[in-house]
Structure formats: C-alpha cells, structure tokens
Amino acid sequence: MKRSIIHQRLVFGCVVLLLCALYIPRVWALRLLYLDSTVRMHVQRELTEVATEEGWLVSDIIVRSVSEDAVMILHRGHIRGRDPRACFVLPFRSELKRPCDV
C-alpha cells in the first residue's frame, strides 16, 4: 500500500510540474495584459480592429505575447481538417501588421 501511495504522489507531482512548465512561460509573456490597463486597452482595440478588418472570429485569435508597444497574435481558422494558421505582430502605434513565425 505504501508503494502505491508513493506512486500516486509521484504521478500527481509530475503532472503539476508539467502543467506549471507549460503555462508559466505563457502567463509571463502575457503579464503586461494583466498588470497595465493602458496596454490592456490597446490590445483590446487591436484585436477588435484586426478581427473586423480580416473578417475573423475573435475565438480564432490567440494572444501569444504582449509588450509595451505591440501584441503578437496567432490566428487559427478552426475548420474540419488542417486549420490554417498565421502569426502577426500588431504594433499599437501603427496600422501595419507584421507577419511572424507560427
């Protein structure tokens, strides 16, 4: 029984560490979105504008990282089969979006 309990603790611990390793870097890349209301406002505006211009659904847009002057997004058009993907950097002070690596 003791071995089984140790085994359970190990598995639980490994899963927790794996999820932390997966999500902490992503949250770190988005920290300004939560800490800075001005950046948050810019991101919201950029997402709404790009969704309207491109005819995208907001649910197909993933925010990858946020800096003080730009937001990096991944657009993934959810369809049956292979989803088309495109990455863009949207500067806050410019209308031009730049492609980036998916």
Rounded Cα–Cα distance for residues 102 and 68 (Å): 21
Q: Which is nearer to other proteins, 2 or 93 (CB)?
A: 2
Q: How far is the CB of 36 from other proteins (least distance, A)?
A: 13
Please answer whether residues 66 and 77 qualify as being in contact, where contact means their C-beta atoms are separated by less than 8 angstroms.
no
**Interface residue list for other proteins (CB under 8 A):** 1, 4-5, 7-9, 11-12, 15-16, 19-20, 23-24, 26-27, 30, 33-34, 54-63, 77-81, 84
Q: Which is nearer to other proteins, 37 or 59 (CB)?
A: 59
Q: How far is the CB of 38 from other proteins (least distance, A)?
A: 16
The region that residue 85 occupies, defined by phi over 0 for left and psi between -120 and 50 for alpha, beta otherwise, is beta
Q: Which is nearer to other proteins, 16 or 69 (CB)?
A: 16
Q: How far is the CB of 88 from other proteins (least distance, A)?
A: 15
Rounded Cα–Cα distance for residues 84 and 78 (Å): 8
Please answer whether residues 71 and 54 qualify as being in contact, where contact means their C-beta atoms are separated by less than 8 angstroms.
no
Rounded Cα–Cα distance for residues 72 and 1 (Å): 50
Q: Which is nearer to other proteins, 81 or 99 (CB)?
A: 81
